[in-house]
Chain A
């Protein structure tokens, strides 16, 4: 690939994503503002977070238009992070139960 050609896309797509990110951020703020609690809160927070992260990556960072070779380099290593999160969640839960059992008044 020549060093001069790069990712060029119509301005419209950036503007649309920009507005969308504003709307999604407002929604996630409103989740807190209206004191949505319980599972609905976690679900909404995670959905808005995933959508925002997805649009930033796909459109602003141009991942949607990149070759699969690069996508694999970026996303396969993250499976290690997923395993770490899983292990630390199990371990955190265990520590909590242990503390509840042995250190409670």
Chain B
């Protein structure tokens, strides 16, 4: 018996009908290169990790009876004699957004076949990421010098330190990994390694990088601004 595959609706039907036909047809369910699907699955698992960190932070912050240190003051800096609350964190946020922008451009140029511009923009993204990690190292140093430890700090609730080092540390680790990942892929793009395979790899790397930026949006809102 010959089973005829219905190709009339190949990844074109919109909405729920389209999802049903994607899943029920005799072909792969997801209209993506496998590497991109696997990156999405990884990012989903990573979402759970960061969600659990932030939920844990919410729980300890809600349940402690001591005063929670005011992040606006803890992360304030004196800039040219002016007291600026949260200024370093704001700069870090802008650096990360800028890097997301250069990454989006890199993906665009990659699919247009402009290897040179793709590699340059990915390099710029990696540099911005590295400067983010540098500023984070500065911030950690400052807080450690002020006596903030995972088990206590002079400003108030002891849980502040553990939540801070755990959440920003894990995020910084992701940025560091992203910088290495970007550098490797940028070099391979520049060498022309993907001329035959195609440039989906740049979009996949971009997904990871935008995710790092996305996580920072939540950390910025819940940890620094709350």
- A23 → chain B, closest Cβ, in Å? 10
Which residues from B are CB-within-8-Å of A88?
55-56, 58-59
- Residue pair B108, A22 in contact (C-beta under 8 Å): no
- B91 → chain A, closest Cβ, in Å? 10
Specify the chain A residue showing the minimal Cβ separation from B63: A95
- B59 → chain A, closest Cβ, in Å? 4
Q: How distant is the Cα of A74 from the Cα of B22 in the complex, in angstroms?
A: 16
Interface of A: prevailing SS: helix
Task: Check if B164 is an interface residue, CB within 8 A of chain A.
Answer: no
- Residue pair B221, A104 in contact (C-beta under 8 Å): no
Known: A6-B198, A61-B210, A70-B40. Is A85-B217 also a contact (CB below 8 A)?
no
Task: Check if A64 is an interface residue, CB within 8 A of chain B.
Answer: no
- Which interface residue of A45, A60, A74 has the most chain B CB atoms within 10 A? A60
Q: How distant is the Cα of A9 from the Cα of B30 in the complex, in angstroms?
A: 20
- Residue pair A67, B11 in contact (C-beta under 8 Å): yes
Which residues of A (4-52) have their CB < 8 Å from a CB of B? 4, 6-9, 11, 14-15, 17-18, 21-22, 25, 28-29, 31-33, 35, 41-42, 45-46, 48-49, 52
B100: contacting residue among A3, A21, A33, CB under 8 A: A21
- Residue pair B40, A96 in contact (C-beta under 8 Å): no
Which residues of A (65-103) have their CB < 8 Å from a CB of B? 66-70, 72-74, 77-78, 81, 84-85, 88-89, 91-93, 95-96, 99-100, 103
B203-219 contact mask (Cβ, 8 Å, vs A): 1 or 0:
10011001101100110
The range of chain A's interface size is 35 or more
- Which interface residue of A4, A53, A57, A67 has the most chain B CB atoms within 10 A? A67
Known: A3-B33, A88-B58. Is A21-B97 also a contact (CB below 8 A)?
yes
- Residue pair B44, A1 in contact (C-beta under 8 Å): no
Which residues from B are CB-within-8-Å of A22?
94, 97
Known: A25-B93, A52-B217, A69-B22. Is A92-B63 also a contact (CB below 8 A)?
yes
Specify the chain A residue showing the minimal Cβ separation from B225: A45
- Residue pair A96, B18 in contact (C-beta under 8 Å): no
- A104 → chain B, closest Cβ, in Å? 7
Query: Number of B residues whose C-beta is below 8 Å from A?
Result: 65
Known: A25-B97, A49-B218. 7 other contacts (CB 8 A): A8-B112, A21-B100, A53-B217, A69-B23, A85-B55, A92-B62, A95-B59
State the A residues within 8 Å of B (CB).
1, 3-4, 6-9, 11, 14-15, 17-18, 21-22, 25, 28-29, 31-33, 35, 41-42, 45-46, 48-49, 52-53, 56-57, 59-62, 66-70, 72-74, 77-78, 81, 84-85, 88-89, 91-93, 95-96, 99-100, 103-104
**What are the 8 closest A-B residue pairs judged by CB atoms, nearest first?**
A92-B62, A95-B63, A4-B198, A49-B221, A18-B101, A92-B59, A68-B19, A14-B104
State the B residues within 8 Å of A (CB).
11, 14-16, 18-19, 22-23, 29-33, 37, 40-41, 44, 47-48, 51-52, 55-56, 58-65, 72, 85-86, 90, 93-94, 97, 100-101, 103-105, 107-108, 111-112, 197-200, 203, 206-207, 210-211, 213-214, 217-218, 220-221, 224-226
